[in-house]
Amino acid sequence: MKTMVLLYNHPNLKKVGDILNKSESAVSRDITKLRERLNDPIFIRSAQGMELTL
């Protein structure tokens, strides 16, 4: 959940990874796991970065 909150505030995987001391790919895997558990896309990639789905 921390990853999700950080992505909402900082829509950039690299920045969130830096904050969490994780790689960009590890953050991406965290989001993928959340998507699968909730059966919802949660965040989608856009030109501005990651955007929360509503």
pLDDT tens figures, 16-51: 999 999 999 999 899 888 888 888 777 777 777 777
| Domain span holding position 22 | 2-52
Token pair in block for residue 12: 């950039």
**pLDDT computed for residue 26 by the predictor:** 95
**44: enclosing H helix or E strand:** strand 43-46
**pLDDT computed for residue 20 by the predictor:** 95
The Cα–Cα gap between 54 and 51 comes to: 9
**pLDDT computed for residue 54 by the predictor:** 61
**pLDDT computed for residue 23 by the predictor:** 96
**49: enclosing H helix or E strand:** strand 49-52
CATH, residue 14: 1.10.10.10
**Other CB atoms within 10 A of residue 10 CB:** 15
pLDDT tens figures, 2-11: 888 898 888 8
| Between 15 and 44, the higher pLDDT residue | 15
* Total count of domains within the chain: 1
Token pair in block for residue 34: 């959340």
